[in-house]
Amino acid sequence: MKAADMTRRHALQLLGGALSGLALTRSWGAEAIPPEETRGIVPGPFTGTRESLGAYRCPEWFRDAKFGIWAHWGPQSAPEDGDWYARNLYLQGSKQYQDHLERYGHPTRFGYKDIIPTWKGEQFDPEHLVGLYQKAGAKYFMSMGVHVDNFDMWNSKYQRWNAAKMGIKRDVVGLFRQAAIKHGLKFGVSDHLWMAYKWMSVAHASDLTGPLAGVPYDGIDPKWNDLYGGCPEIYRKLPWDEDGIPDSWKREWFRRIQDLVDQYQPDVLYCDGQIPFAQWGLDLVAHFYNQNLRRHGGKLEAVYTSKRPSDSAAGLCVFDKERGVVDGIWPQPWQTETCIGHWHYDRNVRYKTPKQIIDMLVDVVSRNGNFLLNFPLNTHGVLDDREQIILAAITTWMQVNSGAIYGTRPWRTFGEGPNLVKPEPGQKYNETNRKDFTFEDVRFTTRGKILYTFFMGWPEQPTLTIPALATSRPYVAGRIQQVKLIGSDKKLSWKHDVTGLTVPLPPDRPCDYGCALEIQGLET
């Protein structure tokens, strides 16, 4: 078939898809929501209103946990070529598009649907993995629920493109949940689905230049619409908003995430964005909370995260700040998430160092936050050698310093030093501003009457001075009674005056990265 004929067919099919989507939208009406009993929302004190959800309070287990590990894994991991593969393979000029051409062929013939069967995960051992994460100090584990690729990682009732039926042909979410429970970890799932309607639209596009310009990619075939979606507009530049998303897709999102919640009863439900889709989203959060209340005998242990500050400010959920820190001590518990490299496995990526990870963990905890760290699995379902070295370094550090992390609360100030990592207005990811912390960078946490003071490097001189603890500072009150170096049995002397706290250090450091003093006597 000639390119011109293919282009005409493409236009007719897009028009048909648009009319079909319009019919689905009209069947529910503009913003119309079916009755609550039809939606299957669990009855309880939470209803789909912001006023009702404003009664939410973050559970203590989450405040105490501080550290979680996440596994970004799915069919996009099969090429081992980094983030957003299912979208970028359809964007002419992108690195993944070029890699896809060289490895698999042109996306008019070999697209994302053809990548899925290559994802086998033949070495996937969730019990072993979660055991490593528990040993490393994680208190909760997050499984990918569904990424923006529209592929469900569980035995989905409403999406045939799912891990139980295609690719690995195993219920990944269910297996990870079993492993988390066995190892005593809280269990979470992540939802990135809501933006898939726009995100996958490029599968309906075509090259803009070259010999196949105008010839549609494989997503144009209507029989793949349940993977690639029926979006009539091609979003080459992706606006991360809800404009143009029909009610039919909102209902699809609701049913699938409700199914995920009902089948696997997560403790944490992470949303890659805000609470989406107005009433649909509020109803989903209410359903999640009510179900959790019923499961825990009336005690709410659920955590829903949103990246829209107004959602958490209204008390609806926990605020999530991707790849960065908030400014100062956040008034309520919050979470940041980052990855050691790219979100999905990239065989050529440069990973963060263990020091960078520990620096960020301590910084986040001092600001009243939780730190969720992603270790992407490769196509086989395992951690590579470099990842295992990083995980082992975190394990060793936690064995020394966990007492100054778990169950702690922020002090009167989060810290001081040359690297305060102050977020810039409008900056989405502020972790790019980070430099390695030094001994001059101090961060504080407390438990009861104990003040923990992290110094994030080992000074060349044998004496450490912490100006942030000077008696002249307005937040410093009380009289120091004891100072210990966590992980060392050496007895310390100290001097505390208007210049700060001065402590001669022992010759041997107790750990390779940030070390902590345990201080008693100061008011916390």
Domain ranges of the chain: 3-38+59-322, 415-522
* pLDDT > 80? residue 139: yes
- Alpha carbon of residue 402 to chain centroid: 22
* pLDDT > 80? residue 29: no
pLDDT at residue 35, as a whole number? 63
DSSP secondary structure string for all residues of 442-496: EEEEEETTEEEEEESS--SSSEEEEGGG-TTSTT--EEEEEEEETT-------EE
pLDDT at residue 32, as a whole number? 59
Average model confidence (pLDDT) for the chain? Answer: 92
Cross-strand partners of 500:
497
* pLDDT > 50? residue 112: yes
For residue 267, what is the DSSP state? S
| Contact predicate 503/464, CB 8 Å | yes
Q: How many angstroms separate the Cα of 464 from the Cα of each of 81, 358, 505, 516?
A: 45, 20, 7, 12
For 239, residues 6+ apart whose C-beta sits below 8 A from its C-beta are 198
In this predicted structure, which of 128-137, 203-212, 429-438 has the lowest mean pLDDT? 429-438
Identical fold between 3-38+59-322 and 415-522: no
Instruction: Please report, rounded to a whole number, the percentage of residues in the chain having pLDDT higher than 90.
Output: 89
Residue linked to tokens 């400010």: 313
Return phi, psi of residue 263, to 5°.
Answer: -75, -35
Q: How many angstroms separate the Cα of 117 from the Cα of each of 20, 267, 417, 430?
A: 29, 31, 51, 37
Residue 157: how many other CB atoms lie within 10 Å: 14
C-alpha span between 111 and 14 (Å, rounded): 18
Q: What is the second-level CATH architecture of the domain 3-38+59-322?
A: Alpha-Beta Barrel (3.20)
37 falls in which pLDDT band (50, 70, 90)?
low
* pLDDT > 90? residue 231: yes
Residue 17: how many other CB atoms lie within 10 Å: 18
Across the beta sheet with 463-466, what order do the strands follow? 463-466, 500-504, 495-497
Residue 83: how many other CB atoms lie within 10 Å: 19
C-alpha span between 522 and 477 (Å, rounded): 6
C-alpha span between 415 and 210 (Å, rounded): 56
* pLDDT > 50? residue 19: no
Higher pLDDT, 264 or 39: 264
C-alpha span between 111 and 114 (Å, rounded): 5
List the one residue out of 175, 149, 143 whose CA is nearest residue 73: 143
pLDDT at residue 422, as a whole number? 77
431 falls in which pLDDT band (50, 70, 90)?
confident
* pLDDT > 70? residue 23: no
For residue 351, what is the DSSP state? P
Which uninterrupted H or E stretch holds 338? Answer: strand 334-339
| Contact predicate 87/81, CB 8 Å | no
C-alpha span between 442 and 420 (Å, rounded): 9
* pLDDT > 90? residue 438: yes
22 falls in which pLDDT band (50, 70, 90)?
very low
For residue range 471-510, list pLDDT tens digits in order: 999 999 999 999 999 999 999 999 999 999 999 999 999 9
**Sheet strands (E) in 162-255:** 186-191
The fold of 415-522 is: Immunoglobulin-like (2.60.40)
Q: What's the longest Cα–Cα distance across the chain?
A: 85
pTM for this model (two decimals): 0.92
Residue 6: how many other CB atoms lie within 10 Å: 17
Which uninterrupted H or E stretch holds 57? Answer: none
| Contact predicate 173/266, CB 8 Å | no
For 243, residues 6+ apart whose C-beta sits below 8 A from its C-beta are none
| Contact predicate 502/457, CB 8 Å | no
The whole-number average pLDDT for the span 131-153 is 98
* pLDDT > 90? residue 460: yes
For residue range 316-347, list pLDDT tens digits in order: 999 999 999 999 999 999 999 999 999 999 99
417: helix, strand or coil = coil
* pLDDT > 50? residue 81: yes
DSSP-derived pairing of the beta strands 442-447 and 450-455 = antiparallel
pLDDT at residue 34, as a whole number? 66
| Contact predicate 462/507, CB 8 Å | yes
Residue linked to tokens 């955590």: 303
196 falls in which pLDDT band (50, 70, 90)?
very high
pLDDT at residue 432, as a whole number? 80
211 falls in which pLDDT band (50, 70, 90)?
very high
| Contact predicate 440/470, CB 8 Å | no
